[in-house]
Structure 1
Amino acid sequence: MRRLLVAVLALSWSMGSFGATILDRIVAVVNEEVVLKSELDQMVHTVQEQLVVKGTSLPPDYMLEQQVLERLVMQQLQLQLAARTGIRVGDETLNQALRRIAEDNGLTLSQFRDVLEQDGYDFPSFRENIRRELIISQLHKREVNDRVTVSEAEIDNFLTTQRKQGNQDVQYQLAHILVAVPEAASPEQLQAARTRGGQLLHQLREGTDFEKAAIAYSDGQQALEGGSLGWRKMGQLPTLFVDVVPKLQVGEISELIRSPSGFHIVKLLDRRGEEQQVVTQTHARHILVRTDELTSNRDAQLRLGQLRQRAFQGDDFSELAQAHSDDKASALKGGDLGWISPGQMIPRFEEVMMSLDPGEISEPFRTQFGWHVVQVLDRRQQNMTEEFNRNRARMEIRQRKIEEELENWLRQLRDEAYVEYRLDS
């Protein structure tokens, strides 16, 4: 349970202390607000616990403090912007999120609260931490996610490039280190960052642990996760990595990669492939009878039972659907729903449809839309790889653009803020 708890607390580690706040010295001024040493100490402790659970060796305390403090500063900036622009998360939304967290860990909300308190964590503080996480998520959605679009031309170009490279089914497990430069950096700042990146690259190639180095030195958003970017398909790679990563061998570390954000180092941890997407499709047609003030559930069920019997006696199902179905769109086609892939229909309809053999007509059954009878006409195995690839490409391009825009947006937010560090005071 301890391992589970630490993993859950990772959701909100950086949003404030879990216990009582001790009023002590200020370690950072962020615009008009401050970060306290007690907050920093609590968060460093939580991060250390996470790293121990993962089996990651810890960097020196002062390096971890600097990383955690920078994360606290960035989150403080985002919360300030959210407050200024009216983003709020109400208690109902917050309670739903807490219930999902508890359920994901196989607990009721009451049990989850007991686990937290038994381990010495203050539940009201945890609750407010989650509220802040939701606020930041809404801020990202408004400022970045909702502004990102993907055109059909981008998808076409993406798929064409993948086919030329012959690696559309390959996934890459990556780790990443960023040596950041400020916006409109001077030549001296650029050279200092390049030198720092070169020295770090040399240390890594001499055997320094990449995960530990990322925790200690990286300016990237994933620094405290050891620089892990997880598994990425080609379309999920940042644009500047696209020509580099496929050429790396597993375990190999890239050269310095320059971008507007700074200098990047990427390590390829692993590589894997994917199978074609073949699904079972069902060709079906149905008759729908909706209920209302004049048609009760019993009336609808009896009416459909009579229509089903007429079909068994030789009446054409298509003509019955045209004359009697309340689903006007399919009624014009004799109730024909075309070829249906898994997940296209609501669960109850799909459950009944998949229980039938070709040619079979169901008993009347109820869904949220009314009462149905459905007939299965045929089944087939269909290769949906192309459609799947287009949908996947759209999501991957969108995710890549969101990550790139978020990084730029965060850097601009940081550059425009007043931040004064007092860690050594």
Structure 2
Amino acid sequence: MIRIPSRPGLALVLALQCTGVLLPTSVAARPVEVDRIAAIVNNEVVTTVELKERVAQITRQLNRQGTQLPPADVLERQLLERIVLEKAQMQLAKESGIQADDATLERAISRIAENNRMSVSDLRAALTKDGISWEQFRDQIRSEIVLTRLREREVENRVVVTDAEIDNYLATNPEGVSNEEFQLAHILVRIPEGANQRQLMERGARAEQVLTRLRAGEDFSRLAAEYSDAPDALTGGALGWRTRDRVPGLFTDVVGQLKPGEVSGILRSAAGLHIVKLVDKRGGGSAGPVQMQQTRARHILIRTSEIVSDAEAENRLRALRERIVNGANFADLAKANSGDLSAAKGGDLGWLNPGDTVPEFEHAMDALKPGEVSPPVKSPFGWHLIMVESRRMQDVSDERKRNAARNALRARKSDEAYEEWLRQLRDRTYVEYRLDKE
């Protein structure tokens, strides 16, 4: 990556801007593609080669999806803006010390291969066939991991959902958790923070133009790729399938009034102007009562470290188990030996629902009868002894509703906060476009 001074207007002397090369007379003259600067983002550049590679990649993707391509110059501008925003985020991540190590990257690639029902070597061969180099793919996944961690730190970790908000949500949604799902797409015309009257009029006219073309029958995906400022623009603005409680708050009332295939009017949010399309919907009605088996359990945790090895932790737990089998009190031994916060309560974990613990712990716990103590069990947290005290069938409808409400509110807040955060980041990023100048 080429580094340049960050001050606007400072003269740049870059080898990439040379207009040609001298060839030996013995070599036949042939055209040589010159890498130029497409844009400057703070103290980094986006080169035309980088931009052309991204255009080629997205073009292949849209062709496979059967999505009509926007005009070449529009696609190029959209992708350049996306790269600018990505670079601004990656720069902030670097300043914040956010990274993705090789182990995390390899696990992510393995999951991608598994989700596509292929081995890593098969995935590599498929990418090569599509013209994507393995190193390019790895760099892209590493960047996505970093950007996800940045979003978690800057946005999601700051989203708070209060009990009062959950109570209000449930009060205004008396039908509870709905099984109805909506497949949505949207177009966002972003409005800069502190926009003046001229900018507001220009952005409004742009949104009106899009809406007019949509109502004249033009393809939504194509217009999203051409006009939308959202990160999902080049996938047709697709938001995928969402239950009613996961639909962005701005869209909720409108979506309920649309028929599949219809588009909304222009909606205003802090991020800008939106147009939403209801692609399809399915399901309906409220979720009924839910009976679930719960387990009351205790455990003793020995964490491993450079000082405590796996073998030592396992042996310590075997000795503790023998004492418990011979009549020692589990709770007393948990208080004296467990490295978990539950030690103060004698290792009591309370009533556990399926999925509340990691799979290794849950599988061992489910195999026990009330009163039984497991052999040492290894999990990502260390080594455990588990004792099941009792089990019960419980109606968890209310608890499920509150959890669903909390998740829905968190998702809505997170999406809205992320859009606003992206807008603020873009507004404070120095960007100089060079394509037109070149």
Contact 2:177–2:287 under 8 Å retained in 1? no
Q: Deviations over 1:253-307 (max 9, x none)?
A: 1111122322211111223336336243145667989997997777667666x66
Partner in structure 2 of residue 27 of structure 1: 38
Partner of 1:43: 54
Query: Does the aligned pair in 2 maintain the 1:25–1:36 contact within 8 Å?
Result: yes
TM-score computed with the length of structure 1 as normaliser? 0.77
1:202 is the counterpart of 2:228: no
How much has 1:45 moved relative to structure 2?
1.4
Matched, 1:251 2:249: no
Q: Establish whether residue 383 from structure 1 lines up as the match of residue 395 from structure 2.
A: yes
- CA 1:106–1:141: 2 relative to 1, 3 Å: same
Q: State the match for 2:243 in structure 1.
A: 233
Does structure 1 conserve the Cα–Cα contact (< 8 Å) formed by 2:186 and 2:276?
A: yes
Please tell me whether residue 158 in structure 1 is matched to residue 166 in structure 2: no
Number of residue equivalences? 387
Cα offset for 1:71? 0.5
Counterparts in 2 of 1:421 and 1:281: CA distance versus 1, 3 Å: same
2:16 alignment partner in structure 1: none
Instruction: Write the letter of the residue equivalent to 1:140.
Output: R
Partner of 1:181 in structure 2? 191
Question: Distance between the aligned counterparts of 1:293 and 1:350, measured in 2?
Answer: 20
Distance between the aligned counterparts of 1:384 and 1:171, measured in 2? 22
SS of the aligned residue for 1:249 comes to coil
- What one-letter code is carried by the residue in structure 1 that aligns with 2:400? F
Q: Give the C-alpha shift of residue 35 in structure 1.
A: 1.3
Residue 80 (structure 2) pairs with residue 73 (structure 1): no
Q: What residue number does 2:431 align with?
A: 419
Q: What RMSD, in angstroms, separates the aligned Cα atoms of the two structures?
A: 3.6
Q: Equivalent of 1:149, from 134, 142, 160?
A: 160
* 8 Å contact kept, 1:214–1:226: yes
CA shift digits 1:159-203 (9 cap, x unpaired): 21222x777443322111112222222222222222222222122
CA positional deviation for 1:81: 2.0
- Select the residue among 202, 218, 224 that pairs with 1:192: 202
Q: Is contact 1:353-1:374 (8 Å) kept?
A: yes
Following TM superposition, by how much is the alpha carbon of 1:47 offset from its aligned partner in structure 2, in angstroms? 1.1
Cα pair distance change 1:69/1:354, threshold 3 Å: same
C-alpha distance 195-293 of structure 1, shift in aligned 2 (>3 A) = closer
Runs (5+) with no aligned partner, structure 1: 1-20, 308-319
Describe how 1:257-296 pairs up with structure 2 within 5 A.
257-271=267-281, 272-273=283-284, 275-276=287-288, 278-282=290-294
Correspondent of 1:221 among 210, 215, 231: 231
TM-score, normalised by the number of residues in structure 2: 0.75
Q: Any idea what SS the aligned residue of 1:24 has?
A: coil
Query: Structure 1: how far apart are the matches of 2:301 and 2:419?
Result: 52
Q: How many Å apart are 1:405 and its aligned residue?
A: 1.4
Whether the aligned pair in 2 keeps the contact of 1:174 and 1:266 (CA below 8 Å) is: yes
Please, which of 401, 413, 416 is the counterpart of residue 404 of structure 1? 416
Q: Hey, what's the Cα distance between the residues in 2 that align with 1:84 and 1:237?
A: 34
- For residue 79 of structure 1, report the CA deviation from its aligned partner: 1.6
Q: What residue is the counterpart of 2:65 in the other structure?
A: 54
Identity, in percent, stands at 43
How much has 1:371 moved relative to structure 2? 5.0
Amino acid at match of 1:146: N
- 1:73, distance to aligned residue in structure 2 (A): 1.0
Q: For 1:417, what is the secondary structure of its paired residue?
A: coil
| Greater displacement, 282-291 / 264-273 | 282-291
Instruction: Give the letter aligned to residue 76 of structure 2.
Output: E
Q: 1:254 to 1:292 in 2, by over 3 A?
A: same
Query: 1:100 and 1:181, CA in 2 relative to 1: closer, same or farther beyond 3 A?
Result: same
Change (3 A) 1:333 1:131: closer
C-alpha spacing 1:296/1:193, structure 2 compared with 1 (3 Å): closer
- Do the aligned partners of 1:23 and 1:36 also contact (CA within 8 Å) in 2? no
**Paired residue type of 1:33:** E
CA pair 66-281 structure 1, distance change in 2 beyond 3 A: same
1:367-395 alpha-carbon deviations (Å, 9 max, x no partner): 245555657x5653x33222112112212
State the shift of 1:414 in Å: 1.4
The Cα shift of 1:214 comes to 0.9
The aligned runs of 1:315-326 (5 Å cut-off) are 322=329, 326=333
Q: 1:395 aligns with which of 407, 412, 418?
A: 407
CA distance in structure 2 between the aligned counterparts of 1:411 and 1:234, rounded to whole angstroms = 26
* More displaced 10-residue stretch of structure 1: 32-41 or 241-250: 241-250
5+ unaligned residues in a row in structure 2: which ranges? 1-31, 303-310, 336-340
Change over 3 Å in CA distance of 1:179–1:337 after alignment to 2: closer
1:88 maps to 99
Contact 2:41–2:431 (8 Å) recurs in 1: yes
Contact kept in structure 1, 2:187 and 2:276, CA below 8 Å: yes
